[in-house]
Structure 1
Amino acid sequence: MALQEKVIACGVRLTLLAMVLKFVGGPISMAIGCFASGLHGDIFRVAIIQAALPQSISSFVFAKEYGLHSELFSTAVIFGTIISLPLLIGYYTIFDSFH
């Protein structure tokens, strides 16, 4: 990923959209799935937090290997990792206050 020319390869607007979808849309869709399947309690909380975890570096490696927009995955991995820690702490705090 350090070989990329720019940190934000896909533009600021698309990067912000991707982060909102990953860290807000992902947990919301996971919550809907949990309600539909009847999950609640600690399993529900773990599923929501897992949905907000950043992409792994392996997605970038596979994209680079197969020539599939690796610069976009690079942006997602870098910013997802930076944003995820404070956001996951916030999610955990919110869930702890409901418990």
Structure 2
Amino acid sequence: MALQGKIIACGAALTIYAMILRFVVGPATMALGCVVLGLRGNVLRIAIIQAALPQAVTSFVYAQEYGLHADVLSTAVIVGTIISLPLLIAYYAILDIMS
């Protein structure tokens, strides 16, 4: 990822779209799946927070190796890691208030 020319290599619109998918749609889908399966309490909270964790660098390595949108994954990993800490704290606080 350090070889990328810019931190946001795929454009602002695609970056925003990826972050919405990562931090809103992912946890919402996980919550829906957990409710359908009957998971409640701490297990539900842990699953939602796990879904909001940033992507691993491994996904970028595979994308780079196979030529599959490495610039998009590079941006998602970098920006997702930067954004994830405050969002994970917010998710934790909101889930704690809801219980």
Normalising by structure 2, report the TM-score.
Answer: 0.95
- Of all paired residues, the percent bearing the same amino acid is 64
Paired residues, what number? 99
Gaps of 5+ in 2: none
**Secondary structure of 2:82's match?**
helix
Q: Deviation digits for residues 26-64 of structure 1, max 9, x if unmatched? A: 111111101111000000000000010111000011111
Paired with 1:47 and 1:56, the residues of 2 have a C-alpha distance of: 17
Correspondence for 2:71:
71
Question: Which segment drifts farther, 2-11 or 21-30?
Answer: 2-11
2:26 paired with 1:50: no
CA distance, structure 2, for counterparts of residue 11 and residue 61 of structure 1: 20
Q: Distance in 2 between matches of 1:27 and 1:70?
A: 24
Cα drift, residue 98 of structure 1? 2.2
RMSD, matched Cα:
0.8
Give matches, 1:1-99, under 5 Å.
1-99=1-99
AA aligned opposite 2:46: V
Structure 1-normalised TM-score?
Answer: 0.95
